[in-house]
Chains A and B, each alone.
Chain A
Amino acid sequence: MSNYYIKTKNIFGVNVIFTEKQREEKMLKHPELRQESFADRIKKTIENPDFIYQDLSDKRRSVYYSREYAIDSKIVYTKIILKNGNKECFVITAYRPDYVKERSKTKLLYGKDNE
C-alpha cells in the first residue's frame, strides 16, 4: 500500500503530500477524513482552491479553502492546512467547516473570499 494518501501539485506547481499515517492520526477527530469522497475534494482544493489564507498561528503554513455547498445560506467549505517546505508542502489536516476562521484576521494570499 502506498504511504501517500494524496500526492499532487498545488496551484503554484509545488508538490503536496498527505501521508496515510497523517490521515490516520487526524481522522479520529475529523470524521470527514474517513469518507472516501473527501479525498477527491481535498485533491481538488489543493490543485484549485477558491482562496488561501496565511495560517493564524504559523506563518509557514497556509490554509486552502474550496466552497462546497450552502445550507440555509451558510457555506460549507473544504479546509486544508498545509505546512510549506522548501521543495514540498505537507498536509497537516483537512476538514469541512461552515465558517472561515481566518477571515479578517490574517492575510489573504490567493483568491477572493467575498462572503
Chain B
Amino acid sequence: MNKILQKKQIIEAVKNIPIIAEKEQWVITLDKEEGSLFYSPKTIPNNSSLHQITDEYSVYFDKKFRPKGVMIECYGQNFIKHHKSFQKLSLEVFQSNKKIDVADSKKNKDKQSIFKALLESTLIKEIGMGMIVF
C-alpha cells in the first residue's frame, strides 16, 4: 500500500469486517504460544500486509485495502484484562489443549456467534475511541 490511508477509509474497512467475515467464513483462532487472537480466514491470503488500527489490534489488508484478518496481540495478557466480557466467553469457546486453538464451528456454535458479534462490535467501537492515524 503506497498511499496515505485515510481515516475514513480505515473506519469504512473496519465497519465492513462483519460482512466480509461472514462471506469468507472467518474463524476465531487463539495462538496460545504466540499470545495472539486472530479473526480471519483459516489462511490469511498472500500479499496481505499488517497495519495497526488502535493500540489494541491490527488488521491484515490486501492491496485493495480490503480487510483479510484481525490480529490482537497479547490477547490473554492484556486485551482480555480490560475487556471483561471476553473472559468467560473465551473459556467457553477455546476448550482444547492445542497451542493453536481454532474454534470449531460444530461445537459451541451459539457461543462462537456471540463471541464474533462481540468482537466485531468491539473493533468498530474502539476505532472511534483510539485510532492510530496513518
Is B a genuine binding partner of A? yes
**Residues of A77-102 contacting chain B, CB below 8 A:** 81, 92-93, 95-99, 101
Cα–Cα, bound, A7→B61 (Å)? 31
Which residue of A29, A34, A35, A76 contacts B69 across the interface (Cβ within 8 Å)?
A: A29
Number of interface residues of A (CB under 8 A): 24
B52 interfacial contact with A, CB 8 Å: yes
Q: How far is the CB of B127 from chain A (nearest CB, A)?
A: 15
Number of interface residues of B (CB under 8 A): 36
Q: How far is the CB of B63 from chain A (nearest CB, A)?
A: 12
Task: Evaluate contact between B52 and A93: CB separation under 8 angstroms.
Answer: no
Task: Evaluate contact between B1 and A71: CB separation under 8 angstroms.
Answer: yes
**Residues of A26-64 contacting chain B, CB below 8 A:** 26, 28-31, 34-35, 56-58
Task: Evaluate contact between B74 and A97: CB separation under 8 angstroms.
Answer: no
By a beta-carbon cutoff of 8 Å, the part of chain A in contact with chain B is: 25-26, 28-31, 34-35, 56-58, 71-72, 74, 76, 81, 92-93, 95-99, 101
29 contacts between A and B (CB under 8 A): A26-B31, A28-B43, A29-B29, A29-B31, A29-B36, A29-B44, A29-B71, A35-B46, A56-B73, A56-B74, A56-B77, A56-B78, A57-B74, A57-B76, A57-B78, A71-B1, A71-B2, A72-B4, A72-B5, A72-B134, A81-B34, A97-B51, A97-B52, A97-B58, A98-B51, A98-B52, A99-B58, A99-B132, A101-B73
